[in-house]
Amino acid sequence: MPLHEFTALLILATAMSFSPGPNTTLSTAMAANHGLRHSLRFVAAVPVGWSLLLVLCALGIGALITGMPALRWGIKALGIAYLLWLAFKLSGNGQLAQAQPAQLRVGFVQGVLLQFVNIKAWLLALTIVAGWVAGQADFTARMLVVLPVMAFYALSSNLLYACIGAALRQWLATGRRLLWFNRGMAALLVLTALWMLRA
């Protein structure tokens, strides 16, 4: 892969991976409510699920889904419903003692599966396949570059957001700070769901 294409890939990966979205919002909220250790299963699941999604898109599943509006809308509806459900569960947590793990339980398998209803993940995977992989004579070599780069970005961005959430944990334990933080995170999930509806 030429250097200019690799540089463009890194710029796209940075912008998309580190901008707020469903994954980073959940990573932050889980770590803020339950600590960094609780969020690590989800943080590890994101690059695994995203890598599977990228491979499937590269093999043509993405074109199939974009070509079938009913299937695309079904995936979108599942993603929106899941984000709204998580926002509802999150918005009521006002104290660390009340924030039981069951209130925001997204384990490894759920984290992997969440990538398949995450419109931001689909858009990024389709963009990367169209721009860097599809129709190239060196398809396999390009995938061997793109896949670890994107998995690294998915892991590092979610880990960073989880560390921020964990760092805020003690500060959030005072007064109603956690409640307002959780409501803010819930609002971001709702805004993401609304964005997904329009995407």
Share of the chain above pLDDT 70, in %: 78
Q: Are 179 and 103 in contact (CB under 8 A)?
A: no
d(CA 154, CA 159): 9
Q: Which residues contact 147 (CB under 8 A, 6 or more apart)?
A: 51, 54, 55
d(CA 11, CA 6): 9
d(CA 121, CA 75): 12
Ranges of residues in the chain with a pLDDT under 70 are: 62-63, 65-66, 79, 83, 89-104, 172-176, 178, 189, 192, 195-197, 199
Q: Which residues contact 92 (CB under 8 A, 6 or more apart)?
A: 103, 182
pTM of the model: 0.74
pLDDT in tens, 79-119: 677 767 777 766 665 544 444 445 567 789 988 998 988 87
